[in-house]
Structure 1
Amino acid sequence: MIVNVKFKSYWLIVALLGGIHPLLAANDEPLSAQSGLYVRQLILDGLHPTRLTALESHLKQQLAGKLSEDCQITLSQRAQPIVSVNCYMTAEQIQAFKISISRFYIENHYINSGAIIPDQEVKEGVIVIRIIEGRLTDVVIENEDQLRLSSGYIKRRLKFKEDEQNILNMKTLQERLQIMQQNPLFKQIVGNVAPGDKPGDGILKVKVREADSLQIGFRFNNYRTPSVGAYRGAVELNYRNLPLGWGDAFYFRYGLTKGLNDYALNYSVPLPLMRYDTTLSLDFDKSDSEVVTEPFNELGVKSDSERWSISLRHPFYKSYPPPDPNPQSYQEFALALKLERRSNTTFLEDEPFPFSRGSIEGEMEYGVIRFSSEWLSRGQYNVLAFYNTFSFGTDALGSTTIDKTLIDNHFLTWLGQFQWFGSFKQFSWMRSSFPRLWESRLLFRTNIQLANKELLSLEKFAIGGHASVRGYRESQLIRDNGVSASLEWHIPIGHLSFDETEQGKIHLVPFVDYGRGENKDRSTPEPKDISSVGIGMRWSPLKKVHTQFYWAKALRNISQPDHDLQDEGFHFEIYVNLW
């Protein structure tokens, strides 16, 4: 993705750096007719009060040695911002004041802001310096008629906040364009600042290229537990930027194994009239499964599960780290609140049967409130991500079907997730000696869950499988409390592509996995922990085809009633972007 931002500021130079007429000495004459005079105060007409402290420090530094020793530089806020000087000043010294103020704005990226000294009568040693704080008066989308997005969606994210009074800061504006470029709705944003109708006014003209709205994909993997069929095919449809023009999105997924069919729906929409990407999401998923492994397949064990939720996510902070915005650097902090309702019914020979503690005649239904935080920091060589989720079981989201004599649904859990992705390219000395290793990357991830009491079966922590500890079956261990961790080394070893794109890199991925889990308030069956070492390969032979294969050696032997490819340590996935 490309961010191309061009700014024109030639129209500002006269307003910022234009001089004043030579001055002649006579206090009862206009300022333009004075060469020097006693100045008690300089009134900074139009200065935003928030800039007082920074401007005072700047003036003292810039004017050091240019004023007489008896001159003071003290800024204060009364009816208007004033500078107390209390000394005799020449025309050149007054002009130096004005130029220093203009330079303060330019150095702080306010490129169409500055100071001018209008001709005036000087009374009681008071001179008025007019501050022009240039503003962004309008945002014009030059290809608006070609976009699906509404113009308001784009303008709200580019205009300055009311407390900033739309004062144009080029660094902030460039940062906002780069932040918008992170939005998957956009492929490219080109911005250009042009002069407005009045001095100091600026108009931002942008051209927007929208990303493709529809994406359809198919994936095939062995990421399900063998009891319902490990091999799963799934079709996914992602439609971003629906015709409403709000930036809303719809997602649908349908998956199928030998004993399981599941589907999921999601609709998300940035709240209208808000510029901060506060997003409302509605989710629903459902799965129907039956045990297909022998000899249990003769028992007719089935399960139906549903989950719906409504959530609100608000990014409180989005920024490129100082001092200079880097298109490859980005930080974001967000909070989210989710209201979720879950239900599960289990059957034996088509009759409801309680397989899980707390179910009533095989039925379980309850509500959960989840509060989560997210922090992401992406730099040129490193990516860090933290996720925290606190879940509270509750009766407040509708009727509850739980046998509370066996288990309490008023639980509290904390789920913490951490990921770090680092590139060896930050070590320049490796480039010539170890070129393959210089292009390699490390990935570390860990998940941990802590619970205050025994949990319902749907809330437990699963350990084992492709996203946890490879070399074991999916969800090999299911516990109340648990931790899993993985370390991978992605090493490029070659290139093989079947099209003309830059795809085709082959990465070798040695890794080590570990997981441990224990129950709360109940005994924990053995084993409590599992671990593995192994190697994998990631390869994208075509632009729209992505594959990954992993083999792991389990370091703990666990007997199984039947045989599956997961027992041999193999985990794989093939994804094809159909549209």
Structure 2
Amino acid sequence: MVAVLDLAPPPPLSSELPAHPLPAHIRSRLRPQVSFAQVGAGVGPEIAAPEQMPPEVDAIEPDAIELDAIEPDAIEMNTGGLPKPDERRFIPTALANQAVQTPIIQTPIIQPPPTAPVPGLPATNQTLILSDIQVVGSSIFQPQDLATIIAAFQNRLLQPNDLRELSDRITQLYLSRGYITSRALDPVILGDRATVQVIEGSIEAIEISGTQRLNPDYIRRRILLGAGQPLNTQRLEAQLKLLRGDPLFKSFEASLKAGSGLGQSILVVTVQEAKPVTAQVSADNALPPSVGGEQFGLQIQHQNLTGNGDRLGGSYGRSRTGGSQQYSVFYTTPVAIASQTLPSGTVSASAQVTRTRITQDDFETFGIRGTSEQYAITYRQPLIRTPQQELALSAGFTYQDGQTFLFEDRPTPFGLGPDADGVSRTSVFHLAQDYVKRDASGAWVLRSQVNFGTGLLGATENSDPVPDGQFISWLGQAQRVQRLGKRHLLLAQGSLQLTPDELLPSQQFSLGGGQSLRGYRQNARSGDNGFRFSLEDRITMLRNTAGDSTLQLAPFAEVGQVWNAGDNPNRLSDQRLLASLGLGMIWQPWPQVMLRLDYGLPLVGLRDRGENLQDKGLYFSTSYRF
């Protein structure tokens, strides 16, 4: 419906502050509020889609889950607004979207072509007994597969109609396995022996019309994955359904017509391309209050830049106070491989620049700011891609460079890990696997990623146990979407990060915020290890004339905990287990407009709780696509 670009958040100010002129009471208040893992950190736009994912999922950036249904192959930007600080802990949006979209199209896209007439048996009333029956031309069925059919016609008295029934039964065997253009001809009789010739169907040609900017080979390559010989229409249907869900197309129709010879067919494809450029404006309060809390953003994407299905997109975001500004750009392109069974892979590249500044009243005069740059490249290769499931492997590399300052231009490290100039760098290789399994009542989304922090490109190095850029960590994620009757959609989501190493804050697992654990401010708690579990029931209250849900209520329960590895000198609060109950509302009056409001009631009262909307458990997000 998903290559992985893991653009981790910029380096944060961690929980321990170095000696500097700030009074102690100010330093204590800074700890929970100015972590740059909290402050404006974020990841770039998601890039993905199976052919599609998502779903030709060409490249996937771990992203905050945005569960509004889209077509499985859509390659979407972050539909929840600007890049979020906690996106790294979530199943990629494109994968998550596959789990809640409408069920797979069950109506066949193609129908068998008219059967060409073939010579029949000569008119005769003569009976005969056959001692030997041979079936030739079958590459699918072995002699043992046909033995039962043949045995019913051997060594007994046969009428001419019996011989025709022999061919019909063999033809029916092909039809039952999805080979609807294959057939068995009437037997050729020679004495007491009969030979049945099988004509196995094939695609003689693919005729494509309606393309404008898109290269027809983009369609042809994907169809050929399901158009092997003999032609199996079930496999062909699967590829056509994936193409029908591709966001490159506004409409996609296909039909078979008889070809020039027995068993040969011509596939006729008619498409209407969707508009290539899409954009979105958004607003939410998903940033930490210390940099403004509320943010506004613009995202734009060209989903067919050169006519080969490659995407180029970018986004800009700014917090209400100007405390956070983010610029990101990405490019992803399909990569055809020399295989008749594997779908095309995808190469993706992205870059993001983040500038953050503490604008909270109590601390603005200290001129605390940070900068971060992130660059990533990823290759993703689906191994299985059907309308029902997708399995893919991906490998990528991400470089991140960040620095923090005090009094505007004084390089200052916050916490143990960054160097004396407040600089922290990571060069991380990622290996990931993702799997989507859809059924009539819901879907599973599973994802596993191993991160290897290296010393390449000047990555931060420290003596144990001080955190640095050399580490190994594992992130596992799971989601189940279950339809319960006509009104209820149950979402269960879980994430778990484990590592034996002390991590820089940009690599840590965080809790809190509207896209994470509601009821608490953004990134209220962070640690080397952590887990999060969320259960939400989306209850449809209103539908439009098409039957689509326009208003949903969403009661939820969430819990999570973080803890550090080894002897990490950056101490954690003793309040590391968070839990909440709450209620959300999702309103989508038109397909391109979405508004979400959430209220989370914290079950664990934090001693460092503030007075911001997030601290009061209130979250909003709204977006308009055009």
Structure 2 CA distance, aligned partners of 1:505 and 1:93? Answer: 60
Measured after TM superposition, the shift of residue 332 of structure 1 is 1.3
Cα 1:563–1:526 change in 2 (3 A) is: same
Measured after TM superposition, the shift of residue 542 of structure 1 is 3.6
Measured after TM superposition, the shift of residue 462 of structure 1 is 0.7
* Kept in 1: contact 2:609–2:615 (CA 8 A): no
- Residue 270 (str. 1) matches residue 334 (str. 2): yes
Match of 1:370 among 420, 423, 430: 430
Q: Which residue of 2 aligns with 1:514?
A: 559
Structure 2 counterparts to residues 105-184 of structure 1, below 5 A: 105-117=174-186, 127-144=194-211, 147-160=212-225, 165-184=228-247
Amino acid in the other structure paired with 1:115:
A
Amino acid in the other structure paired with 1:575:
S
Q: Which residue of 2 aligns with 1:250?
A: 312
Counterpart secondary structure, 2:376: strand
Q: Which residue of 2 aligns with 1:99?
A: 168
Q: Which residue of 1 aligns with 2:136?
A: 45
Cα 1:57–1:296 change in 2 (3 A) is: same
Query: What are the ranges of 5 or more consecutive residues in structure 1 without an aligned counterpart?
Result: 25-33, 70-87, 321-329, 426-437
Q: Structure 1, residues 261-300: CA drift from partner, whole Å, max 9, x if none?
A: 0111111111146671311100111101111224322222
Measured after TM superposition, the shift of residue 38 of structure 1 is 5.6
Counterpart secondary structure, 2:458: coil
Measured after TM superposition, the shift of residue 382 of structure 1 is 1.0
* Kept in 2: contact 1:490–1:507 (CA 8 A): yes
Cα 1:250–1:356 change in 2 (3 A) is: farther
Q: Which residue of 1 aligns with 2:417?
A: 358
Q: Which residue of 2 aligns with 1:340?
A: 398
Q: Which residue of 1 aligns with 2:501?
A: 453
Match of 1:399 among 435, 458, 474: 458
- Residue 220 (str. 1) matches residue 283 (str. 2): yes
Structure 2 CA distance, aligned partners of 1:137 and 1:63? Answer: 31
Q: Structure 1, residues 230-260: CA drift from partner, whole Å, max 9, x if none?
A: 0100111122112x11101112111101211
- Residue 566 (str. 1) matches residue 614 (str. 2): yes
Which ranges of 4 or more aligned residues in structure 1 deviate by more than 6 Å? 1-4, 500-504
Q: Which residue of 1 aligns with 2:303?
A: 240
Structure 2 counterparts to residues 282-293 of structure 1, below 5 A: 282-293=349-360
* Kept in 2: contact 1:139–1:159 (CA 8 A): no
* Kept in 2: contact 1:215–1:239 (CA 8 A): yes
Amino acid in the other structure paired with 1:424:
L
Measured after TM superposition, the shift of residue 339 of structure 1 is 1.0
Amino acid in the other structure paired with 2:109:
V
Match of 1:390 among 450, 464, 467: 450
* Normalised TM-score (structure 1): 0.82
Measured after TM superposition, the shift of residue 452 of structure 1 is 1.6
Structure 2 CA distance, aligned partners of 1:565 and 1:119? Answer: 83
Structure 1 CA distance, aligned partners of 2:494 and 2:262? Answer: 56
Cα 1:171–1:563 change in 2 (3 A) is: same
Query: What are the ranges of 5 or more consecutive residues in structure 2 without an aligned counterpart?
Result: 1-70, 72-104
Q: Which residue of 1 aligns with 2:66?
A: none
What fraction of aligned residue pairs are identical, expressed as a percent?
A: 25
Q: Structure 1, residues 149-183: CA drift from partner, whole Å, max 9, x if none?
A: 1111101111256xx75322222222221121222
Cα 1:460–1:128 change in 2 (3 A) is: same
- Residue 230 (str. 1) matches residue 230 (str. 2): no
Q: Which residue of 2 aligns with 1:5?
A: 109
Measured after TM superposition, the shift of residue 468 of structure 1 is 1.6
Structure 2 counterparts to residues 424-573 of structure 1, below 5 A: 424-425=484-485, 438-494=486-542, 505-522=550-567, 524-560=572-608, 563-573=611-621
Counterpart secondary structure, 1:474: coil
Q: Which has the higher strand share?
A: 1
Q: Structure 1, residues 178-210: CA drift from partner, whole Å, max 9, x if none?
A: 121222222321111111112221100010122
Structure 2 CA distance, aligned partners of 1:239 and 1:157? Answer: 21
Counterpart secondary structure, 2:588: strand
Amino acid in the other structure paired with 1:478:
S
Counterpart secondary structure, 1:419: strand
Measured after TM superposition, the shift of residue 118 of structure 1 is 6.9
Structure 2 counterparts to residues 13-52 of structure 1, below 5 A: 14-15=117-118, 19-21=120-122, 36=128, 39-40=131-132, 42=134, 44-48=135-139, 50-52=140-142
